[in-house]
Amino acid sequence: MKQFHEKYALGQVIGKGAFATVRLCLCKETNEEYAVKVLDMRGSDGSDKSSRPSTERLRQELRAEQRAWSQVAKHNNCVFLAESFIDNYFGYFVMERCHGTLLEGLRSETELNEYTYAHYFQEMAVSLAHIHALGVIHRDIKQDNFLLGGPEGRTIKLCDFGLSAVPTGEGPVKLTGVYGTAPYMAPEMVLPHGTHGEPCDIWSLGVIIYTAFYGCFPYMPKEKNSEAMKQVVRGGVPAPAFVPNKKFRQEAVSDVATTFAKALLERNPASRPPAVKLLKMDYLVNNHVHEQQAKVRGLKDISLQPMLHGAVRAGAFGTRAPQGDPNAESLLMELQNRANARLSAKSQLQRGTSPATPTEGMSDEDSGRGRRPNGSSKGLPPKQAWDSGSTKAGSSQQHSDSQQGLEAQHGT
Ligand SMILES: Nc1ncnc2c1ncn2[C@@H]1O[C@H](COP(=O)(O)OP(=O)(O)O)[C@@H](O)[C@H]1O
Ligand SMILES: [Mg+2]
């Protein structure tokens, strides 16, 4: 099995999340272009008091992400995972390349109203219906984790399965722990001793919809930090108004759209409609009819662009600042150069000429054994306002797949 750097050539950085850097990459065999999500796997070895998780824990998390993402398989509204790799330093998820963020898509709409939004929400609900049918709970549904891709670059694609769970066992799903990004967390996620399942994703989609319609989060604490946000979601007071803030001087969306938003933000998870039911709701099913009727009544021109500005100001996009070790980039390039040198030496040997660059004759695994990169971070940078306190901690999942499985895993 080839290592990542032997099979792919790295290109420019196209995205950064809280945990990963995403780059373009080219398959050296087929010349096909992909995106690769690179995760720094250099954890603490337990000998220092670093707040960075242990390497073993990072590897477990990588395997969990790989397991959930592979389960999702190929679907129009989910970013497709082609294959994954791990070496001594990094984990690599090679995936379908997308062409834009949700915010770019929304900003490019000439008319952004509840009817245009219905197309976006429909595809988001389809992606949730798909993953839930396969037993995957995403647990970090938010604007940043929907990308635009497909042939026209207009298809909504769910990405980032880094906090996803694939619970096993019979009966209703009862996961424990606190996962995700505070403003999107469902009440049952933040309640003491609360358990969560698929409905937590529905709630988070409800938060996306609320910000789109009303320009703010359903719950707005006075202080803008994760703890305050979780507290106000837990308490449920003041309840969401389902009207735009007065400062927008704008009419609300139609009753049909409001009914839709309210259904997703049902505080009782058992009363929240599953994704398949959302797809049958009036707002989505009869969108075209509602649009025609609004046109006749002269209502079609109510633009939701001001609400989008409000949502951006409230922090609904770019919810987590990129973290990570600045040395990771140079280490990544070094691994790439080493792999290239090995490949060129190999091809020269095959042609019967002597290699121009001497190589160590070792795999990345061998050459890196026991080595700690210079200046590796001793701890994670400070958390951002909407970071969850324990995003990846306290997993209640069982991980049975081995590292070997991760290295060898291919998508379908
Ligand atoms: N397949 C892709 N094509 C293009 N850009 C991507 C792709 N996947 C992720 N990105 C970009 O990289 C960012 C970080 O990726 P993500 O998987 O969300 O990482 P993290 O787990 O660190 O949040 C995304 O918000 C997006 O801007
Ligand atoms: Mg992300």
Peptide bond into 273 cis (omega under 30): no
Beta bridge partners, 37, equal 22, 93
* Cβ pair 91, 39 in contact under 8 A: yes
According to the model, what pLDDT value does residue 387 have?
A: 54
Q: What stretch(es) of the chain map to CATH 1.10.510.10?
A: 101-314
Q: What stretch(es) of the chain map to CATH 3.30.200.20?
A: 4-96+326-379
Instruction: Ligand 1 pocket test: pick from 13, 22, 81, 97 the residue with the most ligand atoms within 8 Å of its Cβ.
Output: 22
Report the topology of domain 4-96+326-379: Phosphorylase Kinase; domain 1 (3.30.200)
According to the model, what pLDDT value does residue 44 have?
A: 83
Starting from the CA of residue 142, give the closest ligand. Answer: 2
**Ligand 1 neighbour 97 (Cβ under 6 A):** yes
What pLDDT digit, counting tens, does each position of 29-60 carry? 999 999 999 999 998 876 766 678 899 999 99
**Ligand 1 neighbour 22 (Cβ under 6 A):** yes
d(CA 161, CA 202): 16
* Cβ pair 93, 65 in contact under 8 A: yes
- pTM for the complete prediction? 0.86
**Ligand 1 neighbour 160 (Cβ under 6 A):** yes
According to the model, what pLDDT value does residue 247 have?
A: 82
Q: Which atom of ligand 1 is nearest to the CA of 162?
A: 21
* Cβ pair 284, 128 in contact under 8 A: no
The domain made up of 101-314 is a member of CATH 1.10.10.10: no
Residues with CB under 5 A from ligand 2 (ion): 17, 145, 160
**Ligand 1 neighbour 147 (Cβ under 6 A):** yes
**Ligand 1 neighbour 17 (Cβ under 6 A):** yes
According to the model, what pLDDT value does residue 101 have?
A: 95
**Ligand 1 neighbour 37 (Cβ under 6 A):** yes
Q: Which residues of the chain have pLDDT under 70?
A: 46, 48-50, 299-301, 354-412
According to the model, what pLDDT value does residue 383 have?
A: 32
According to the model, what pLDDT value does residue 326 have?
A: 80
Alpha-carbon radius of gyration of the chain: 23
CA separation (Å) from 89 to 26, 40, 55? 20, 6, 10
Instruction: Ligand 1 pocket test: pick from 23, 83, 142, 147 the residue with the most ligand atoms within 8 Å of its Cβ.
Output: 147
Distance 160 CA to ligand 2 centre (A): 5
CA separation (Å) from 59 to 50, 75, 138, 237, 261? 17, 26, 19, 40, 38
What pLDDT digit, counting tens, does each position of 281-330 carry? 999 999 999 999 988 887 656 889 999 999 999 999 987 777 778 889 89
According to the model, what pLDDT value does residue 386 have?
A: 61
